[in-house]
Amino acid sequence: MPATKSNKTVVAQTQKLVKDLKAAYARIKSLEDALNIATSGSHPLLTGLQAQPATPSMTATELADGEIYEERVHDATEMMGSLLIGADGKTRHLGGSASSEFLLTLLDPSDNIATLDPRETAHYGMPAEIVELSNAFPMGITTCTYGADHFTEFLPPRSRALQLVDLYYAQFTSLQLPIPRSDLIKTFIDTIYQGGEVGSAYAVHPHKLSVIFIVLASGAVSDNPAFASTLAHQYCVLSRACLSLKSVMREATLATVQAVFMNIWFLHTTDHDKSNEERWILQGACVKIAQIIGLQRDSAGWNLDQDEVQRRRVLWWEIYTYDAWSSVKNGRPPSIDLHHTDCRYPRDPDPTVLSANTKEIGFHAWKFRFSVSALTPIMHYVFGVRKSTYSELLELDRKIRQVTIPDHLKTPMNFAQSKQSWSSDPHTAMHQYATLAVVEMHLLYIHRSYFARAIHEEPINPLKHEYGPSVMASYRSAYRMVCGLKDLYDDHQETAKQQRYFWSGMFSACVVLAALIIESPGSSLSQEAAPGLELAVRFFEMVCSNEGWAQSALTMLQKLLKRSQTTFVAFHSNSPQHFVLPNENDAEPDELAILAGRQSIITPRPASHSLGAQSAISSSATPDSNQPDAAAKFDITVDAVAPAPATQNGNDFDLPTFFMSHAGGEDQGMFDWSLFNTPSFEHDFSTNILLTETYMQNSAVDQNYGLPEQEDHGAAMIAGNDVIWSIFANQLFP
């Protein structure tokens, strides 16, 4: 039935009748119970058919699909994220779970087109035919007189190709491994070079050539800095041109999917920073091409060669993992539904041998399983339009923390009880931090809106709020991501610096710390977070100040740091009873609200004006000096009170002196990271919780997160929870 106005009226009337029927049933049941008590069950009216609960047929819930949809939409969540609408109609949406790094692009959309795509300069000196083919990527050209043999002249000697292949596997495959090295040599290199030094593209499918060229491009990124960028993007142009030789609509192969997927990762890793939307579209195309060749089904059912089955399984799970990860980071629904696949996990390419009879799965095998057991329920929670309950969030948190982490992937966090250490191998150490980051980052995303509500409504003791567990979870995740990356950098500087995914998480963690300090400057957590935020921003400056991709993030972090310091000093320099968060300019954009993922409609303004976002709520935090501070030291993980942080309170706290003495310097050796101590709620309980060693055995999993059991925390989330971030709109920036 079409969803016309009259049908909507029918649906509304049906819903009202259902409610009336349920109310009548409840009333009749109450009267029957009273009659049963009064007559000891002997009354004649009780011997017949008693009132029965309304059945689907009685309540007319078996509505047509369109009417069911109308009813579901009526009860949809208001956690809608941010929508950018330009004067020319250009529109972009980033959902409530979107990372702060991506949300930052909404604040200055003009910056997305301000820089030159490095692939444009890579065209210089290229034949016009190759440029035309590259521009047709990924769909390709239906008819093309240009043949694969024309690409022979661009193939480097075998020795040079192997050098770039080695660089690719050393620097580019830490987080994704779509083709194992042995398979690349056997299937691609040997086919092209035939044992000689000079390669030939004559008898090679162009999509296989595309794979080779994107591998060479990825390896060239880490080559001689004098020409690395230009060479890398020239190889990327060649890869795209090769794929366009044969239209993907007519000749899709396994190599086709590999080439598209590896092009996505090339964009993700190189300095072409404004490629998020291109990657998003390419990921959708990659999934569709993968489905064309049946990767979603387990290939063993077709009795294919075991090596081919392994190739297909590896590629499918790499695609699924990236799709899930990018989906949550963008706040947009995924392209793959796990219900539509039966593809088995591939054989583990890099297991860790503990003893003769004991092995642990490697990082890539673990990430596939984490994607299924953690990212899949996260996507169901984040992208479901039905209003969620807080108890559902806590259950999701439990699932994430229960994912087992192999011992060799666990990270040290400077706890005396920790038996872990950073691996001396940079590749393994990167996997250690990646494991920590992927867990903590997603915990940060799912708790963000509840964290915001708690620090607004209980600015002095946010842990006292019913959403205090989200404050605890958000702060702990931010702390672990910042300190973990600092520790990794101390041991493996180049490894830590090269992984932009890690610094994206660092940026999101800093936004959470800034929000805590600005909105809740009087809380004990803020006093712990204040030195931590400054150290984190200075660390970010030291490592990334010369990186083009980091400039927008760095500028924003500096603004947030300045604002947090101003707010913190103002609070501790005045009587708490008279403290009101400064609101110096209502016209300024609520950057923190947008970066934190609250619901926003953003309209770009002319270049002479600042970007603005309309705020739905305006309020100032007025702390109550009579509130007990025990809740601020409440440990949700053990249902106990933790020791107070080693900081002062109120007017005795000399913030100007504090910031001056802890300002740090350009040399990382001047950073006193001991100021950013383990969060107070972990001090005395790390022996029981061992947060650095396992999520599976975390005692918090079996607790009720410190919430009084008599309270109804299963109640539906208050509508517009994300909108609470708009409280920051008139309070954050001078």
Confidence at 653, pLDDT banded by 50, 70, 90:
very low
pLDDT over 80 at 601, yes or no: no
7-11, 189-193, 449-453, 635-639: which range is least confident on average? Answer: 635-639
The pLDDT assigned to 580 comes to: 46
As a whole number, mean pLDDT of residues 353-367 equals: 87
Burial 318-329 (b: 16+ CB within 10 A, else e): bbbbbbbbbbbb
**Cβ-based neighbour number of residue 618 at 10 Å:** 12
Range ranked top by mean pLDDT from 235-239, 551-555, 700-704: 235-239
- Using CA atoms, how far apart are residues 28 and 22, in angstroms rounded to an integer? 10
For residues 422-451, average pLDDT: 92
Strand partners, 352: 360
pLDDT of 725 higher than 90 = no
Phi and psi, residue 634, nearest 5°: -80, 130
Q: Which of 567-581, 648-662, 665-679, 689-703 has the lowest mean pLDDT?
A: 689-703
**Residue in the block written with tokens 């039935």:** 1
Task: Give per-residue pLDDT as tens, 238-285.
Answer: 999 999 999 888 889 999 999 999 999 999 888 655 678 889 899 999
Instruction: Render pLDDT for 675-696 as a digit per residue (tens, 0 to 9).
Output: 555 555 443 333 332 333 332 3
Radius of gyration of the chain (CA): 29
Quote the Cα angle for 89-93-97, to 5°.
170
CB-CB contact of 610 with 589 (8 Å): yes
Residue (of 599, 729, 595) closest to 100 by Cα position: 595
Three-state DSSP class for residue 389: strand
- The Cα 220–Cα 218 span in angstroms is 5
Evaluate whether 625 touches 539 at the Cβ level (below 8 Å): no
446 compared with 28, residue with greater pLDDT: 446
Of 577, 540, 543, the closest CA to residue 559 belongs to 540
Across the range 119-142, mean pLDDT stands at 79
List the one residue out of 705, 115, 156 whose CA is nearest residue 466. Answer: 705
Full 3-state SS string of 694-717: CCCCCHHHHCCCCCCCCCCCCCEC
CA distance to 107, 432, 448, 639, per residue, from 612 (Å) = 8, 40, 22, 42
- pLDDT value of residue 607: 47
Query: Cα separations (Å) of 576 from 568, 570, 571, 621, 654?
Result: 12, 10, 7, 10, 15
Q: Where residue 641 falls among pLDDT bands split at 50, 70, 90?
A: very low
Three-class secondary structure of residue 250 per DSSP: coil
